[in-house]
Amino acid sequence: MSEGLLNVALVQYAPLATSGANLAALSEIVAGATSQGAQIVVAPEYSQAFLPDQYEAWGNLAEGADGEFVTGLAEISAAHDGVIIVAGMLRRRENSLPTNTIVAVGRQGVLAETDKIHLYDAFGHTESSFVAPGTIAEPRLLDIGGHRLGFLACYDLRFPEVTRRLVDAGATALVIPAQWVPGEHKLSHWQALLKARAIESQCYVLAAGQPAPHGVGYSTVIDPWGVVLDELGPDGGVLHGQLDASVVSAVREINPVSLARRFDIREKL
């Protein structure tokens, strides 16, 4: 494959209740995706364990970075030439609620991770009742195939400063596992925000969501111009795409918005 090209697969998947059940399902999905050339496979938010409407039980499902889920993903990666698997999980933290964490896992284990910063206390939901917000830390990016991947989870999409920090750290692609809850205007928000983040960040956007009924679906690959290269509908499936680093370079050269910026991002006190 030419330098700067990266084959990706987005999994629009309805997670099950336990790590074991999800690992069994993801193992089959990853096998199919890698047989079609995928170098990175992105699964949705909460792919480690998902109990809709049973939030009080979710804390018991959290695991550490050495737990069954991450260990299982590393084994799946090793079985498929080191493919990178990105997925959402409930990450156990000492003396605290778990965090909603996105992990990128290879055969060696966790290569990059990020905790959800803004919790979904909106539209009648209270994610903060069972999840702790992530701390503000230097972004961990993942270099692969001539690209630098930055990660964010679901509701963080609504906050452009999250993606701006990733771009300032060097990201050329934004990876967004989500469980974008359905509702009035929610699909249009999802699609508009994904395109906006691609355009303003001049990055590829890889958004993998849960299908109906617990997500809106419409996983998508968007290029740095804001062009939707391909997307799914509301139902489950796997979406394949290819990223080209030269497109990022060209967009940023033609329209050097980062050089024109006059504002920085800082943490709210």
Model confidence at 20, pLDDT cuts 50, 70, 90, reads very high
Lowest mean pLDDT, pick from 1-5, 60-64, 102-106, 163-167: 1-5
Q: Which two three-digit tokens encode residue 103? A: 């992990």
Q: Are 185 and 45 in contact (CB under 8 A)?
A: no
What domains are there in the chain, each with its CATH number? 5-260 (3.60.110.10)
Pick the closest to residue 212 from 176, 241, 175, 183 (CA basis): 183
Q: Strand, helix or coil at 164?
A: helix
pLDDT digits (tens, 9 = 90+) for 66-112: 999 999 999 999 999 999 999 999 999 887 899 999 999 999 999 99
Q: Strand, helix or coil at 162?
A: helix
Q: Which residues are marked as active site?
A: 45, 116, 154
Say if residue 234's pLDDT is above 70. Answer: yes
Residue whose pair of structure tokens reads 């999250």 in the numeric block: 162
